[in-house]
Copies of this chain bind each other. A is one copy, B any other.
Amino acid sequence: MDMTSAIIALAVALVMGIATIGPALGQGTAAAKAMEGIARQPEVAGELRTTMILALAFMESLTIYGLLIAFMLLFKM
């Protein structure tokens, strides 16, 4: 294995690591408000959970893009 692969390994680590920070914080904020809403209006709990999963999926997709790039770089090592 040569030095080029080692630098690509750093790139893989960088993209995967950074790509989890934003989505995780965003999901935390969204989920927190969803649970606050359920506690305030238990009768719309189902509606809120559906919306929460929709929003979490949107943010999860951002990390998936990072994971995709990480794999594409990994296969080039």
Contact-size category for A: 35 or more
Chain B residues closer than 8 Å to A63, beta-carbon distance: 20, 62, 65
User: A interface, by DSSP: helix, strand, loop or mixed?
Assistant: helix
| CB of A6 to closest CB in B, whole Å | 4
Nearest-neighbor residue (CB-CB) of A29 within chain B: B28
Q: How far is the CB of A45 from chain B (nearest CB, A)?
A: 5
Q: What is the CA–CA distance of A7 and B35 in the complex, to the nearest angstrom?
A: 43
Q: Hey, which bits of chain A sit against chain B, CB under 8 A?
A: 1-45, 47-49, 51-56, 58-63, 65-67, 69-70, 72-74, 76-77
Apart from the given pairs A38-B39, A45-B47, A49-B54, 10 other A-B contacts in the complex at a CB distance below 8 Å: A1-B5, A1-B76, A12-B15, A20-B21, A20-B65, A22-B25, A28-B28, A31-B59, A37-B38, A67-B69
